[in-house]
Structure 1
Amino acid sequence: MERLKPLNDFIFKKTFGEDETKDNLIALLNAILSKKDIDKLVTLEIVENKQLTPELIEDKTGIIDVRAKIADGTQLEIEVQLTNQHNMDKRTLWYWGEIYSNGIKKGEDYKKLAKVITINILDFEYIKIPDKFHTTFHLWEDEVKDYMLTDVIEVHFIEVEKFKKLENKNLKEDKLQRWLSFFREDINKEELEELMDMDADIRKAEEKIKYLSSDPETLALYKARERSLHERANMISSAKEEGREEGREEGREEGANEKAIKLAKNFLKMGLTVKQVAEGSELPLEKVIELKKQMSN
């Protein structure tokens, strides 16, 4: 039986983002956040556990993320991204801001705003720091590097592709490295068995994936999601190529803003929402709304 890809976002959510699998998420988060001994997470609440309908699965522009909240109110958002859209920095801050601002109701005290941690698991290289597959960002003062303005923002990038290229891995002592090995779709049976012998948490997650692969309905949704992810990657690639081709036909070098507008128009023609177009083209949301109105007239 072919192993389901753990980084297919549908399978990732089924393995880590449901009430019955939250122990898997706790184990993964303890590895990512380097929680040890007394600081270890022991419980959390899965939030926004939206139903994974066929419509959502087949939505080429849909995002299936995992959201959780821990006892002190800290909110966590984990997203798997397989295709480099060259906007993950802005994209992750957008979603961080959305979650953070929704932390209180209108009129409530800002003191009630809780910390938000966003975690991006990327199947490509993105951060321009060689040989560092896990990077973490906070708000530090420019010159006094040890002064943090606030701890309410914490952003993680985990680059699986960089980890694969790491020459000296330390799976026995590094739990996060074990999880990243588990996420590899090309891992062989012997390597997987060795991982599971090292780590009971990984064995439990793999057992869940095996169970999912034996369910015909889950298997059908998985295949549908694989198709939609593939189509999404092609859609982005085609839109960018179309924009480049238009530039070549005009016979001149276009400014960055003009290129972004062309890209946004291509995305709008393909049916993406204005929010998704703003993220993909890196144009302000107001500009995308204006473009959509112009195209509708």
Structure 2
Amino acid sequence: MKKPDENFIMLPTVDFCFKELMMNPKVRTGFIAALLDLSPDEIQDTEIVPTELPRDYPEEKLGILDVHVRMRDGRHLNLEMQVQFFEYWDSRILFYLSKMFSGQLKKGDSYEKLRKCIHVSILDFSWFDDDLYYHTIHLYDDGTKERYSDLLELQFLELKKLPPEAQSEKGILRWMRFLHGKSRKEFEHMAGTDEYIQEAYDTLVQMSADEKKQMEYEAREKALRDYQSQMKSAENAGFRKGERTGFQKGEQTGFQKGEQSGLEKAKRIFQLNAQGKTITEIADICQMTEPEVRDILD
């Protein structure tokens, strides 16, 4: 058994670590208070709700380590850390937000039982084409610009866009700096700015010293790296196949269509392969020959 590394510290941008931090009620209270721009004293009991959203979509083969929180007043929050760029993130979060919203009602329930649902995307990549690190999004009337309903809300925290540190920063900015930390020194610095972030740091240190949790963390970190590498390979393979197809046709339009088609098909092949499908099954699903499938996987 390897000797534990005393300098090892988990990074909150790994979703396993983030979810474990949110299991601590005080940490959860402090973070949610910052998201809702409230004092932590105003946050009553919160509870973790077992996630019941479907996980059987090709893009979700790694699983989703999200955190579903229900507040005493009935509001629901879904907190999700995403470290890798996800092409259909906008559609994906709308899908899961709608599932969370509609999932509140059972057969025969009245619509008056519906409570506000908020999806919080904590992204370690840039999503919007602006310099804002924090976005909140609601439903608005196009003509009057008045808010139509407050029952659905999206929040985006883009960690890559953090501005230079300043004094007297808002709570949400302090939390974002902590979540984006990369060393003990950075975590310790942010812990001194807020008692709830201090609790998060203390929890982080305890988790990092736990051998079992460290193994789980490293396994998840490896899975994320492998998936990223696999998607990059699929992208490169799709580009090469599209390039060949385009030039064989001898037309620029053929090149563009071939490149896009090849990229999408290659990604699909890698996803099916990761799901344990055989070469024969993949070839049948993708309407390709077995040698063509092997050529992409190799």
- Identify which of 41, 44, 67 aligns with 1:42: 44
CA contact (8 A) 1:44 1:71 kept: yes
Cα deviations by residue, 1:217-257 (Å, 9 ceiling, x for unpaired):
11111111110011111122222222222211101211898
1:103 aligns with 2:109: no
Amino acid aligned to 1:33: L
Name the residue aligned to 2:220. 225
Name the residue aligned to 1:234. 229
Q: Measured at CA, do residues 105 and 257 of structure 1 come closer, stay the same or move farther in structure 2, by a change above 3 Å?
A: farther
Q: Measured at CA, do residues 294 and 72 of structure 1 come closer, stay the same or move farther in structure 2, by a change above 3 Å?
A: farther
CA contact (8 A) 1:22 1:44 kept: yes
Query: Could you tell me how far apart the structure 2 residues matched to 1:171 and 1:74 are?
Result: 32
Name the residue aligned to 2:81. 80
Name the residue aligned to 1:206. 201
Q: Measured at CA, do residues 195 and 171 of structure 1 come closer, stay the same or move farther in structure 2, by a change above 3 Å?
A: farther
Q: How does 1:156-195 map to 2 (within 5 A)?
A: 156-163=155-162, 166-167=163-164, 169-187=165-183, 189=185, 191-195=186-190
1:33 aligns with 2:45: no
Cα deviations by residue, 1:37-81 (Å, 9 ceiling, x for unpaired):
87x31321111179xxxxxxxx96111011110122111100000
1:253 aligns with 2:256: yes
Amino acid aligned to 2:13: L
Q: Measured at CA, do residues 90 and 188 of structure 1 come closer, stay the same or move farther in structure 2, by a change above 3 Å?
A: same
Query: Could you tell me how far apart the structure 1 residues matched to 2:69 and 2:51 are?
Result: 9
1:14 aligns with 2:20: yes
Query: Could you tell me how far apart the structure 2 residues matched to 1:110 and 1:232 are?
Result: 41
The normalised TM-score by structure 1 is 0.79
Query: Could you tell me how far apart the structure 1 residues matched to 2:275 and 2:138 are?
Result: 31
Q: Measured at CA, do residues 111 and 244 of structure 1 come closer, stay the same or move farther in structure 2, by a change above 3 Å?
A: farther
1:12 alignment partner, SS class: helix
Amino acid aligned to 1:262: K
CA contact (8 A) 2:139 2:150 kept: yes
Name the residue aligned to 1:62. 63
Q: Give 1:173 deviation, angstroms.
A: 3.3
Query: Could you tell me how far apart the structure 1 residues matched to 2:172 and 2:32 are?
Result: 9
Q: Structure 1: 5+ residue runs without aligned partners?
A: 51-58, 274-290
Amino acid aligned to 1:117: I
Q: Give 1:187 deviation, angstroms.
A: 4.2
Name the residue aligned to 1:2. 8
Count of residues in Structure 1 that have an aligned counterpart in Structure 2: 262
Query: Could you tell me how far apart the structure 2 residues matched to 1:171 and 1:105 are?
Result: 48
Name the residue aligned to 2:279. none
1:158 alignment partner, SS class: strand
Amino acid aligned to 1:157: F
Once the two structures are overlaid, the 10-residue window that deviates more, 103-112 or 211-220, is: 103-112
Q: Give 1:181 deviation, angstroms.
A: 1.6
Amino acid aligned to 1:103: Q
Query: Could you tell me how far apart the structure 1 residues matched to 2:264 and 2:51 are?
Result: 35
1:233 alignment partner, SS class: helix
1:150 alignment partner, SS class: strand
CA contact (8 A) 2:134 2:155 kept: yes
Percent identity at matched positions? Answer: 28
Name the residue aligned to 1:56. none
Query: Could you tell me how far apart the structure 2 residues matched to 1:192 and 1:3 are?
Result: 10
Cα deviations by residue, 1:126-180 (Å, 9 ceiling, x for unpaired):
11222x10001100011211x11211110011000011xx13x335332222112
Structure showing greater radius of gyration is: 2
Q: Measured at CA, do residues 294 and 133 of structure 1 come closer, stay the same or move farther in structure 2, by a change above 3 Å?
A: same
Name the residue aligned to 1:154. 153
Amino acid aligned to 1:172: S
Query: Could you tell me how far apart the structure 1 residues matched to 2:118 and 2:259 are?
Result: 32
Name the residue aligned to 2:250. none
Q: Measured at CA, do residues 112 and 87 of structure 1 come closer, stay the same or move farther in structure 2, by a change above 3 Å?
A: same
Once the two structures are overlaid, the 10-residue window that deviates more, 94-103 or 264-273, is: 264-273
Name the residue aligned to 2:211. 216
- How much is the aligned-residue C-alpha RMSD, in angstroms? 2.8
